[in-house]
């Protein structure tokens, strides 16, 4: 894990202890999107109700004063393709002034 991923893992541990998250795993799944094309989200989360979410941590940049997740175009295409092909909630996660923001990615 890089520093951002370690920081998010600590946040997830707090959510588990608080009962707001059942469990989580790092790079637990890899999705095959096409021939020789794969996508591995950073985190798999299991909510207390059993719902599975896949989170990808991203750096932050500011656009017109608003924090947004920084990602390369190929990363956005992969997560959108995964969201279209698989029955899970895919999200980008980034820090905004010390607060973790979660942005759902739709196909």
Among candidates 74, 89, 75, 81, which has minimal Cα distance to 32?
Answer: 81
Residues 26/13, Cβ–Cβ less than 8 Å:
no
pLDDT at residue 73 tops 80: no
8-36 per-position pLDDT tens digit = 999 999 999 999 999 999 999 999 999 99
Instruction: Identify any residues that bridge with 63 across adjacent strands, giving them in sequence order.
Output: 66
CATH for 3-105, options being 3.30.420.140, 3.40.720.10, 3.40.50.920, 3.40.1350.10: 3.40.1350.10
Nearest to 26 by CA among 39, 52, 44, 10: 44
37-59 tens-digit pLDDT: 999 999 999 999 999 999 999 87
The rounded distance, in Å, linking the Cα atoms of 55 and 52 is 10
């Amino acid at each position: 894990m890089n520093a951002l991923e370690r920081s998010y893992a600590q946040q997830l541990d707090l959510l588990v202890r608080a009962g707001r998250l059942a469990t989580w795993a790092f790079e637990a799944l890899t999705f095959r999107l096409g021939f020789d094309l794969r996508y591995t989200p950073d985190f798999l989360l299991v909510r207390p109700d059993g719902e599975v979410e896949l989170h990808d941590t991203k750096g932050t940049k500011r656009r017109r004063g608003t924090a947004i997740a920084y990602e390369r175009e190929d990363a956005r295409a992969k997560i959108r393709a995964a969201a279209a092909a698989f029955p899970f909630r895919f999200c980008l996660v980034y820090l905004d002034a010390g607060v973790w923001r979660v942005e759902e990615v739709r196909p």
